[in-house]
Amino acid sequence: MKIITTIAELRAHLAAFKRPAFVPTMGNLHAGHLALVRQAKPLGDVLVVSIFVNRLQFLPHEDFDTYPRTWEADCQALEAAGCDVLFAPSEQELYPEPQGFKVQPPAELADMLEGHFRPGFFTGVCTVVMKLFACVQPRVAVFGQKDYQQLMVIRRMVQQFALPIEVQGGATLRAADGLALSSRNNYLSTTDRAEAVQLSQALQAMARAVRGGIVDVATLEQQAMQALTARGWQPDYLVLRSRHDLQAPTASDITTLAQQQGLVVLGAARIGHTRLIDNLEI
Ligand code: PAF
């Protein structure tokens, strides 16, 4: 595996390849990331993974400074997973001056759910992903489905800018108890880790109710929020949405969408000091 830290060197190295496959990450890699890497491996003639903790997608009170940085372990894991090129630019390399030009996704995609609770998050994500795409010029890029809204926003960005990149989603990996793997799981205390599975269980209960024919979405969502709150969580949202655009389905659409496998439940909630997100397609 070649480790490259400058855009110039990356371009020179990738000039020899026709179809780079790309997995962007912020490091602190777990089995979920490595599954994306393995998914991407056969899709191109060279596999590039980036590690860059992107300041632009963190709010001032969020965990940019404390975001886990595990360089040695990440390098070993990537090498073992078949990564050919690890692109790890410094902040100075990727943002040599304040990033004045930004990619701002439309409000109807990016101001709800995660974007509502983390204003500016998707502008930060789209800006860095666009810049990483400009550096790597991949033909295919793989993003985790755990960040469901992020995947949708990036697909739309690629489509609207007519970027010649195929975007693939990678399935969420889960711990044995069902907790979705996430770098932020590292923040959980032992007690909170035991409790954390309740988020995916809440989503499963919502999915069961919808499959069982419940169409009163407002009550379903409210009850799910109340149940988690009663256990000591601070939920941001637990919602049923259309997979296509993440808009709330009308009561009359639910049955049809459920039959067409067109629904997803999404949740974000804080347990202790840790904010977790998860989703489940129905
Ligand atoms: O999902 C992530 O890890 C980040 O949002 C991404 C896509 C690497 C952009 O910084």
pLDDT of residue 258: 86
Same domain, 148 and 234: no
Same domain, 97 and 235: no
How many structural domains comprise the chain?
2
pLDDT of residue 208: 96
- Domain with 214, as residue range(s), is 183-281
User: In this predicted model, which residue has the larger pLDDT, 101 or 256?
Assistant: 101
What predicted TM-score, i.e. pTM, was given to this entire model? Answer: 0.97
Q: Decide if 47 contacts 81 (C-beta within 8 A).
A: no
Same domain, 145 and 198: no
CA-nearest residue for atom 3, ligand 1, is 25
Q: Decide if 274 contacts 187 (C-beta within 8 A).
A: yes
pLDDT in tens, 6-54: 999 999 999 999 999 999 999 999 999 999 999 999 999 999 999 999 9
pLDDT in tens, 156-194: 999 999 999 999 999 999 999 999 999 999 999 999 999
CA of 204 from ligand 1 middle (Å) equals: 26
Nearest to 280, CA basis, from 171, 177, 204: 204
252, pLDDT greater than 90: no
Among the atoms of ligand 1, which is closest to the Cα of residue 129? 9
CA of 24 from ligand 1 middle (Å) equals: 6
pLDDT in tens, 74-106: 999 999 999 999 999 999 999 999 999 999 999
With the most atoms of ligand 1 within 8 angstroms of its CB, the residue from 74, 128, 131 to mutate is 128
User: In this predicted model, which residue has the larger pLDDT, 247 or 215?
Assistant: 247
Among the atoms of ligand 1, which is closest to the Cα of residue 144? 1
Q: Decide if 248 contacts 114 (C-beta within 8 A).
A: no
CA of 210 from ligand 1 middle (Å) equals: 31
Average pLDDT, the chain: 97
Q: What is the DSSP letter of 42?
A: G
- Which are the contacts of 81, defined by CB distance < 8 A and separation ≥ 6? 34, 37, 38, 41
> Which residues form the pocket of ligand 1, taking CB atoms under 6 Å from any ligand atom?
24-26, 54, 57, 125, 128-129, 147, 150
Distance CA(132)–CA(128), nearest Å, equals 6
Same domain, 10 and 97: yes
Degrees to nearest 5, angle at CA 75 with 38 and 92: 110
Distance CA(23)–CA(40), nearest Å, equals 7
CA-nearest residue for atom 5, ligand 1, is 125
Same domain, 21 and 107: yes
